[in-house]
Amino acid sequence: MIRSCVTIALVNDIKTGPWIFWADLEQGMAKASELGFDAIELFTASAAAVDQIELASLLAKYKLKLAAVGTGAGKVLHGLTLTDPSETVRKQAISFISDMIAFGAAFGAPAIIGSMQGQQGQDRSQALAWLAEGLALLSHQAKEKGVALIYEPLNRYETTLFNTLEAGVNFIESADLRNVKLLADLFHMNIEEADMPASIRAHVRHIGHVHFADSNRRPVGNGHTEMGPVASALKEMGYEGYVSAEAFPWPDPDAAALQTMKAFKQFFRD
């Protein structure tokens, strides 16, 4: 069964980013619950930034699940990536993500590696070796804690590593990263994929999470993405996971959340 999810960001430095609710964890969860979302996707400054006991209490109170945790603050706040030329920085990146894996796994939620993958630099083969090494270590840690590790192909303006599902699949298979799943972000896919539904159909067994946003990264219904065929591909191919609104809070968080739930019901429930 495909389940609905909405993003909550608690990092002041990323307030221009594509997250629906901001700053107030309980308020965001209360609104998510009221609108009927199944889960939240959480972006925090670090694994220690949210008290786990408090989070567990709030999840129970509002009858929500934790779908995933983002690791982007490691890049935004500290400049950490898995492909940095500095071995020290790479080790710090692995440590940061390891902590996020443990934080999410306490709630059965995977960690997402997006911006922390970094760039290829001048030597692509070396960057890919570092990426494979980091993902292998981190995916093993995630497996030990009972969760997958989510790797996100980004568009060409955000990374020079992998930009499509096919490229991501080829990489994780060649590196034998068996506990790594891909994040199918519909905003990035709109830029990079020649045929979004076809790409989903071809690679659905590798998809572990979906980001639900329109072509302009506003909530679905405010751009030009043809969401019907995309949703049909996910449903027909048996995807069972979350579609999470990683979208701009346009025109405001409440309206964005309401539109997201309206779109979710239209494409995945009707």
d(Cα 80, Cα 210) in Å, to the nearest integer?
24
Confidence of residue 270 (pLDDT cuts 50, 70, 90): low
For residue 41, the cross-strand partners are: 7, 68
Tens digit of each residue's pLDDT (9 = 90 or more) over 144-186: 999 999 999 999 999 999 999 999 999 999 999 999 999 999 9
Nearby residues of 95 by Cβ (< 8 Å), 6 or more positions away: none
Instruction: Indicate if 166 belongs to the active site.
Output: no
Q: What is the pLDDT of residue 115?
A: 97
Answer for the pair 180, 165: CB distance below 8 angstroms, yes or no: no
Query: Would the pLDDT of 28 be above 70?
Result: yes
CATH at 40: 3.20.20.150
Boundaries of domain holding 260: 3-268
Name the token pair of 68. Answer: 């995933």
Marked catalytic residue, from 41, 192, 193, 246:
246
Marked catalytic residue, from 26, 144, 152, 193:
152
Averaged confidence pLDDT in the chain: 97
Confidence of residue 121 (pLDDT cuts 50, 70, 90): confident
**CB-side exposure of 172: number of CA atoms within 13 Å?**
25
d(Cα 201, Cα 188) in Å, to the nearest integer?
17
Q: What is the pLDDT of residue 254?
A: 98
Q: What is the pLDDT of residue 23?
A: 85
Tens digit of each residue's pLDDT (9 = 90 or more) over 258-267: 999 999 999 9
Ranges of H-type helices in 46-203: 52-61, 73-78, 87-105, 124-144, 165-174, 186-192, 196-203
Tens digit of each residue's pLDDT (9 = 90 or more) over 46-94: 999 999 999 999 999 999 999 999 999 999 999 999 999 999 999 999 9
- Among the listed residues 67, 26, 18, 74, the one whose alpha carbon sits nearest the alpha carbon of residue 46: 74
Instruction: Indicate if 226 belongs to the active site.
Output: no
How many structural domains comprise the chain? 1
Tens digit of each residue's pLDDT (9 = 90 or more) over 189-243: 999 999 999 999 999 999 999 999 999 999 999 999 999 999 999 999 999 999 9
